[in-house]
Chain A
Amino acid sequence: MLAYFLRRLALTIPTFLALMFLTFIAIRLVPGDPVEVRVGEHGISPERLAFFRHELGLDLPVWRQFLDYVWRLLHGDFGVSLATQQKVLTEFLTLFPATLELSFFAMAFAVIVGVPAGAIAAVKRGSVFDQALMTVSLFGYSMPIFWWGLLLIMFVSVRLGLLPVSGRIDLITYYFDQPTGFMTVDALLSDQPGAFLDALRHLVLPAIVLGTVPLGVVARMTRSSMLEVLGEDYVRTARAKGLSPGRVIGVHALRNALLPVVTVIGLSVSGLMAGAVLTETIFSWPGVGKWLIESIGRRDYPALQGGVLLVSAVVILVNLVVDLVYGAVDPRIRHGR
């Protein structure tokens, strides 16, 4: 088991190298460098421009910059953000809980709605519910996030005024320490009445928007996996034992049908991170995604380079964890068979 994980870990090294290289190149291909962008349209004297560039090491040949960057990375140094003068790693760790919280609720939404919906569709195969769910889920996972987010904001927040438009909490009413960085948890810890509920209310729309694609995937996967499992001999055995239909389906069939769903959830984490970038931007959610977008705008080379690497590391880590979870869910894997 340990050897397996070390091997998996080793296999990610080329991915990291490629990512390092690509983000490094890509951000430099965007016209304008950090200095120019900061200066804006006013312009400054060429001497001062050269001075700032020299300060940031941007006057060195690109290959030197890359080697410097790699060298520092090897020492665990992700560099310092040009915009905030903070360490990139610190910045990432401050913002990441917000992204994690949003992703968690988005995934929870996808699983809590998608698994039962998919299971029911499978049991009632060919029914109106089944057909409706399949159509809706197809829309779900081909939904452009930006459009979907704006649509929900317009309708639910602006027109109906039901939910807040942006942010993680109403900062005017509530102010408290954030020891964990997870707004829902910190709100509970703060003892401020209503804070937790407000944090949840802020989560609803972004979680739905970010969770829509995984919802489609999870619902469809659960359905097809369930259809397969329902024909298995052990489901017949469960019915032959005289168990209630709920128990046959909810315990015997579902437990087996969830195995591939767990994998799909793991695989959709990378998509979730991509979606988070857009969702956070739409809802002004102060997480890693919004930070990355802003870093592109500011040509904040270190922030962007470090941020992308760290996000990738998270995705890879999650996939490893999913492997572990899979082992826990499927005894055959747990026992190495």
Chain B
Amino acid sequence: MTLLDIRNLTVTFATRRGAFTAVDGVDVAVDRNEVLAIVGESGSGKSVAMLAAMGLLPKTATVTADRMNFDGLDLMALSADRRRRLAGKDMAMIFQEPMTSLNPCFTVGFQIGETLSAHLGLARKARAARVVELLAEVGIPDPARRARAYPHQLSGGMSQRVMIAMALACRPKLLIADEPTTALDVTIQAQILDLLLRLRRENGMGLVLITHDMGVVAETADRVIVQYAGQQVEASPTRALFADPHHPYTAALLAALPERATERRLPAIPGVVPGQFDRPAGCLFSPRCAFAFSACHRIAPRRAGPELGAALCHTPLAAGVPQPGALQEAGA
């Protein structure tokens, strides 16, 4: 049984200027002891998809899915209250901006302790002791003193460690890390990532790692989902994805990966991700695609089979070569 199993997830926001589909047909499957990476440029719906899984989206969002199971539970059938009891306990999430993700008005210890009393009902004494343990576990020096610190007294790296301690407080089965290192100094990034991977190993958690960093993906992930403008354009095991990308977007991401890299951020592909008001007809990636032909600009592509990375493309690549699909044969 897959730990988190989501099929055909769609999230639509009611905005002042009409409905906007931020996530459109995404499948997510991650198991215990497994690392799933979700990659894609800013605005491709990575965060929204995972917030949907956590049940943290605002009321303006409509979430639909063919299936949305966590640990054998049908999330969509659960009451809001039951759902809330999973969050922070069995599935936890940490965010991109550790500095603003902690409440400035309360001490670090209070904020971690809150999780412990909410889900485990730990009493004051036990809670305080556990908080110190957790802080030590995430590598915070002098944890007893740090428990009494306020967030503004911590650096970004320390704040993220605190967030991780908070997420781990109830030993969750799944941890979702939404670009956990993007806001941090380069030297700190590696430390935080190592910490996450170590804790995942020690606790046997499933880990969903949203990242910009293809280098990190290569080193850590078992499987990869590539998202573009809300759509899942490819999903493959990591090794297969790096060896033979099937979607032109994935190929472009990898091709732009600087070999002698100093900067390992997501490489630049000319153009931008379409937003709410500049959706192209046909394939959403077609304006930026090196392989696009006329039909790509008119007709939305269908999903290829798993042997082609479930690529959402008219002419998925194999060994870098476009495979003639049904459309081309029809002479479109």
Contacts and interface: CB of A to CB of B under 8 A. Distances in A.
Nearest to B96: A233
A29 interface: no
A234 B103 contact: yes
Interface residues of A, number: 22
B179 to A, nearest CB: 13
Chain A interface secondary structure, helix, strand, loop or mixed? Answer: helix
A244 B152 CA distance: 25
A233 B105 contact: no
Interface string A202-234: 000000000000000000000000000000111
Interface string A224-253: 000000001110111111111001000010
Given A232-B100, A239-B56, A241-B115, A337 B105 contact: no
Nearest to A259: B105
A179 interface: no
A170 interface: no
Contacts of B85: 242
Contacts of B105: 255-256, 329-331
Contacts of A240: 54, 56, 87-88, 92-93
B106 interface: yes
Interface in B64-122: 84-89, 92-93, 95, 97, 100-106, 114-115, 118-119
A332 interface: yes
Interface in A48-102: none
A337 B153 CA distance: 9
A42 interface: no
Interface in A246-291: 247, 252, 255-256
Nearest to A236: B56
B166 interface: yes
A240 B56 CA distance: 7
Nearest to A252: B103
B152 A241 contact: no
A298 B106 CA distance: 55
A335 interface: yes
B42 to A, nearest CB: 17
A233 B56 CA distance: 12
B114 A237 contact: no
Contacts of B93: 240
Contacts of A242: 84-89, 115, 118-119
Contacts of B104: 234, 256, 330-332
Contacts of A238: 103
B91 to A, nearest CB: 9
A233 B95 contact: yes
B69 to A, nearest CB: 19
Contacts of A329: 105
A241 B118 contact: yes
B150 interface: yes
Given A234-B100, A252-B103, A256-B103, A239 B87 contact: yes
B101 A237 contact: yes
Contact of A241 (B95, B150, B166): B166
Given A241-B87, A241-B88, A244-B84, A233 B101 contact: yes
B150 A234 contact: no
B296 interface: no
Contacts of B205: none
B53 to A, nearest CB: 11
**Most B CB atoms within 10 A — which of A232, A240, A255, A330?**
A240
A247 B115 CA distance: 12
A232 B95 CA distance: 12
B163 interface: yes
Nearest to A332: B152
A15 B211 CA distance: 58
B95 A332 contact: no
A255 B166 contact: no
Nearest to B95: A233
Given A331-B150, A332-B152, A335-B153, A241 B114 contact: yes
A236 B106 contact: no
Contact of B95 (A237, A331, A335, A337): A237
Contacts of A234: 100-104
Given A239-B87, A255-B106, A335-B150, 4 more contacts: A237-B103, A237-B163, A240-B56, A243-B88
Interface of A: 232-234, 236-244, 247, 252, 255-256, 329-332, 335, 337
Q: Which 3 A-B pairs have the closest CB atoms?
A: A242-B88, A241-B88, A242-B87
Interface of B: 54, 56, 84-89, 92-93, 95, 97, 100-106, 114-115, 118-119, 150, 152-153, 163, 166
19 contacts: A233-B97, A236-B56, A237-B102, A237-B103, A237-B166, A238-B103, A240-B54, A240-B56, A240-B87, A240-B93, A241-B88, A241-B166, A242-B85, A242-B89, A244-B84, A252-B103, A255-B103, A255-B106, A256-B104
